[in-house]
Structure 1
Amino acid sequence: MSQVLALKYRPSSFDKLIGQDAVTQTLSLALNQNRVSHAYLFSGLRGSGKTSTARIFSKALVCENGPTATPCEVCEHCKMANESRHIDIIEMDAASSRKIDDIRDLIEHTKYRPNSARYKIFIIDEVHMLTKEAFNALLKTLEEPPEFVKFILATTDPLKLPATILSRTQHFRFKQIANKDITHHLSHILNLENVNYESEALDMLSRAGNGSLRDTLTLLDQAIIFSKGYITPEAIASMLGLLDPKQLEMIFDTILKGDRTRLIEIIKELENYECEVVIDELIAYLKESFFNSDGRFSTLITERFFRILSESKNLLFLNADNGFVLTLLFFKMIEALHIKTIEEMVESLEDEKFRVPKVQEIVEAHKIDKEHVRPIIQEPSKTPEPIQEEIEKVQENIPEPVKNKGMELFAQLIVKLEDRSYDLATCFKNYIEFISYEEGTLTWSSSAQGEDKNSLKHGYPIIRQFVQEIFGIDTKIKMSQNEEKKKVDDSHANEDTSSMIESIEFNPNEGTNTESCISGHITADKKEAEAKEILNDPFVKKIQEMFEPKEIKIYPKV
């Protein structure tokens, strides 16, 4: 009668244990130097070798030549241990014998000397399943057992053990077995079993086992039957519901080409698979391709793809449609390929710096005399072709340009506003008229009323920010009264005071929001004490209503 592979090839000595070098080395040295503790705790992932190690260690203790790290395998004690029938090696499953009465029976057995061996060994598997009362009953015996008693506890969840138990044992942590070690072990077994295979198929089985050798050997048993004696990647993919490696390669090739039509077809094909399995397979393939350095995935692309794949797994917990998740996943990966090099970023910044606004459009919107507009003139070699064409169109309709740097900067200000808020930019173009830019002061006039005025008031922090970026951080904004005064109702005008006002100036550096807004000062042709009545002027009140300055100071005209 044939045995399953997990039992048939169960390790019987320390040198046959897979992937637990640190544990086997420590236990071997303890046996050879006769420094054996009274209690051990083995913890780790299922199928990592805990119970096998406990049995090997027990056999090493009872061997006639022992304690030794290399049992003779020929003495009666070794033979009985290998056949799991040694009377002094007692195995207990705490999952089924977990109550205090079971532990009392075990403690009773510790009072009697071993029948034939030098030690009586108790192996308690899944020890974390014991009840609280059972643990408490075991404490005293576990701390000070008779000299001929040894305890070996095994668990997959050491965090569930009381601290009092942990402190009374030597704790050995069994790590997850590396995929390469499992793959090598599988190939060794298949060679002994005379089964043909492809290495890529064993890699797929190893990944499916998730570091558990027992689970992987169970899958190998199934694969031998399913593949009819020849294990191929296609057979493993079909058996486990995984993606064929060639299919994974085709998916990434399609993504790199940006073929959206083909991707939609692939998504429909993948609806037959579990979405989480597809994502895991994509991550595994991406990792393998990155380590193989095949040149297709740079570090930045790999990082972006991995982030997208990981975030997509979170969508599955929201019960999102699998097909839609895959659609988002693949199309986001296509977008992630749009990476600018440093040179391209520098070139883009230079283009932004020398960007030419549509001067003709601004001239028409502001009804500015073309003679006072000087378009930006660049050297043809440094000007991008589309911008050069725009310049040429404007120059055809504009007379000989006059130098006016302020108008150029004001045009750039409008372009910036359009990029940020189209509505604000439209309002700004319709109601704000450029006057001048001299000695760090930007002067404009406003004809906005009602909602348009409120829109400009609430958008002023954005306007002020762009003014500082384009004109300079210390630029002052000055509201001219010339055009605004015409809009004040003559019946409410105060000619005596209005005639005294020369200018109203606001400093954009003061204040960070519309509530505190800005400070300003009024220059008048009278002394400060005599000019306070200017504050009652309708035009000044209109300025206060529009900008809500934090304070207004009156200065005599110099």
Structure 2
Amino acid sequence: MSLALKYRPKHFSELVGQESVAKTLGLALEKGLLAHAYLFSGLRGSGKTSSARIFARALQCAKGISATPCDACSSCVESLQGTHLDTIEMDGASHRRIEDVRGIIEQSRYKPSLGRFKIFIIDEVHMLTKEAFNALLKTLEEPPAHVKFILATTDPFKLPATILSRTQQFHFKKIPLKAVVAHLKFIFEKEDVDFEEPALEMLARSGGGSLRDTLTLAEQAISYGDQSVSALATSQMLGLVDSKILEEFFNALIAGTSVESLLRTLAEHDTAMVLEEMARFLKEAMFSQKWSLGVLEPFMSAVAQAQPLLNYGADGDFVLALNTLKMQASLQQTPQTATPKPAPTTQAQLPAQAPTPPTAPQAGPKELFQQFIAKIESTNAELGRVFREFLVFQSFGNGVLFLHSSADEGANLLLRQHYKTLIVPCLKEVFGPSARIETDKSKPRPLEQFKENNPSLMQAMQDKLGTTDGKVEDF
């Protein structure tokens, strides 16, 4: 049996990283505050289907409705085996037609034969057709007293608003890295698998906040290392870049020595993976204060600008080489801070007026962006954390604040919820009444603006692609 199935949670207390959802559902069961329809949304492998099954088993338990089902009565045993007659699971991806929904409506008319309720769990519900949603709508709004619906989806924005308004919604967030590592450690100890702590962090990062994906990778790592999970073997299996190589690479850039051999080593890996590992390494270096912010900022900016180029179809080796050149160029630039010294003046030459107080230097776009985040953070700490973690400043011009976004589904949901009520007012207050936001996920930067801001990059792209008309139309 796979690790994901063997260690699938059977009670709310076993859910990893979803404490708020588990607490809310548990209290609802204990106090009898039950809705007729629930919607569980969030990243794949975050516990939506497992929570739906636990919730259904708690409702059907013969010893009474409670947050902790007994697991011993006939209803609990059959629920654990997936054979309970009154708990019907349906995959919305393969049963998406109106005929399938009509079957649910027909079954809902009959009272339960074994349990307390007839419970319908529909996974990936966003895959249902428009006609199927319309057919489900009336039953979902006013179901018989003995019917409960539990819908699960990875994309709640594809559901009609009429469906969303008739369900009690729970969002399953991305599972924190520390929680995933702790769960992996618990499983490896129970399975008597030798492991190294850095290897667990590699697996957790590669899982991307999905516990199921992480456990699948963990099984692969156990097989690859023959019941031993080491950091070296795990990095080789996952194709990750050794952090020692990255440290040597950035140290060589700072020292001004050759990075040619290190660049060839990095080119052996997937470019997207290399840029992702660079971003992670620089983030850790910032927290540990390994280098000054004056060194880290241009490095981070170069990596952020390099990542979108891969989406345009640019050659990976070229993007990596260009990224290195931009880092080297940023270190060679020296700020022009010297100002001409004014000629000395006598008391007689001074104008007869009150001294003018010194004016504070005008803040640049990056400083304004930090003020913008701070203003949001003072009102909503969680939203401020999303901005700091997932959104990177790119440029500001003509009233447009351009950001690079790496937000996941949960972060996007939070951003959309507060966009009009909080984000836009703070944006206009800091950047002006006509300011607006664009991200490289929602709308790519105009080509003319890209040419204007990156003339050397455009020339390099022309040389690489061999264009003859002096234009680069699409990359």
> 1:306 and 2:300 equivalent?
yes
Instruction: State how 1:175-324 maps to structure 2 within 5 Å.
Output: 175-259=173-257, 261=258, 263-291=259-287, 293=288, 295-324=289-318
Q: CA deviation at 1:340?
A: 6.3
Cα distance between partner residues in 2 of 1:18 and 1:65: 26
Q: Does the 8 A contact of 2:12 with 2:54 survive in 1?
A: yes
Segments of 5+ residues of structure 1 without an aligned counterpart are 355-375, 377-558
Q: CA deviation at 1:339?
A: 7.4
Q: CA deviation at 1:13?
A: 0.3
Instruction: State how 1:491-530 maps to structure 2 within 5 Å.
Output: none
Partner of 2:115: 117
Q: Which amino acid aligns with 1:52?
A: S
Instruction: State how 1:26-425 maps to structure 2 within 5 Å.
Output: 26-259=24-257, 261=258, 263-291=259-287, 293=288, 295-337=289-331, 345=337, 348-349=338-339, 352-353=340-341
Q: CA deviation at 1:301?
A: 2.8
Q: Which amino acid aligns with 2:207?
A: G
Cα distance between partner residues in 1 of 2:295 and 2:30: 52
Q: CA deviation at 1:11?
A: 0.3
Cα distance between partner residues in 1 of 2:65 and 2:332: 65
Are residues 318 and 106 of structure 1, via their aligned partners in 2, closer, same or farther at CA, if it must alter by over 3 Å?
closer
Q: Does the 8 A contact of 2:181 with 2:200 survive in 1?
A: yes
Greater mean deviation of Cα atoms: 223-232 or 30-39: 223-232
Q: Which amino acid aligns with 2:286?
A: F
Cα distance between partner residues in 1 of 2:248 and 2:225: 24
Cα distance between partner residues in 2 of 1:140 and 1:324: 56
DSSP-derived class of the 1:22 partner: helix
Provide Cα deviations, 1:98-153, integer angstroms capped at 9, x if missing partner: 11111111111001111111111100011111111111111111111111110000
Q: CA deviation at 1:338?
A: 5.1
Q: CA deviation at 1:76?
A: 1.5
Q: Does the 8 A contact of 1:308 with 1:333 survive in 2?
A: yes
Provide Cα deviations, 1:478-520, integer angstroms capped at 9, x if missing partner: xxxxxxxxxxxxxxxxxxxxxxxxxxxxxxxxxxxxxxxxxxx
Cα distance between partner residues in 2 of 1:4 and 1:139: 37
Cα distance between partner residues in 2 of 1:77 and 1:111: 21
Q: Does the 8 A contact of 2:38 with 2:169 survive in 1?
A: yes
Cα distance between partner residues in 2 of 1:18 and 1:339: 48
Cα distance between partner residues in 2 of 1:93 and 1:14: 23
Q: Does the 8 A contact of 1:63 with 1:78 survive in 2?
A: yes
Q: CA deviation at 1:85?
A: 1.2
DSSP-derived class of the 1:269 partner: helix
Q: Does the 8 A contact of 2:245 with 2:262 survive in 1?
A: no
Cα distance between partner residues in 1 of 2:245 and 2:174: 29
Greater mean deviation of Cα atoms: 152-161 or 268-277: 268-277
Q: Does the 8 A contact of 1:183 with 1:206 survive in 2?
A: yes
Cα distance between partner residues in 2 of 1:264 and 1:104: 65
Query: Structure 1 runs of 4+ off > 4 angstroms?
Result: 338-341
Provide Cα deviations, 1:35-74, integer angstroms capped at 9, x if missing partner: 0100000011110110000000001111123310011122
Name the count of aligned residue pairs.
Answer: 344
Q: CA deviation at 1:187?
A: 0.7
Q: Which amino acid aligns with 2:122?
A: I
Partner of 1:519: none
Q: Which amino acid aligns with 1:133?
A: E
Q: CA deviation at 1:332?
A: 2.2
- TM-score normalised by structure 2 residue count: 0.70
Partner of 1:400: none
- TM-score normalised by structure 1 residue count: 0.60
Q: CA deviation at 1:267?
A: 1.4
Q: CA deviation at 1:155?
A: 0.6
Cα distance between partner residues in 2 of 1:249 and 1:230: 26
Provide Cα deviations, 1:209-258, integer angstroms capped at 9, x if missing partner: 11111001000010000111221221111111111122222222222222
Greater mean deviation of Cα atoms: 301-310 or 327-336: 327-336
Greater mean deviation of Cα atoms: 316-325 or 150-159: 316-325
Q: Which amino acid aligns with 2:280?
A: A
Q: Does the 8 A contact of 1:50 with 1:174 survive in 2?
A: yes
Q: CA deviation at 1:322?
A: 2.4
Q: Which amino acid aligns with 2:108?
A: T
Q: CA deviation at 1:195?
A: 0.5
Instruction: State how 1:11-30 maps to structure 2 within 5 Å.
Output: 11-30=9-28
Q: Which amino acid aligns with 2:221?
A: A
Higher relative contact order (CA 8 A, sep 6+): 2
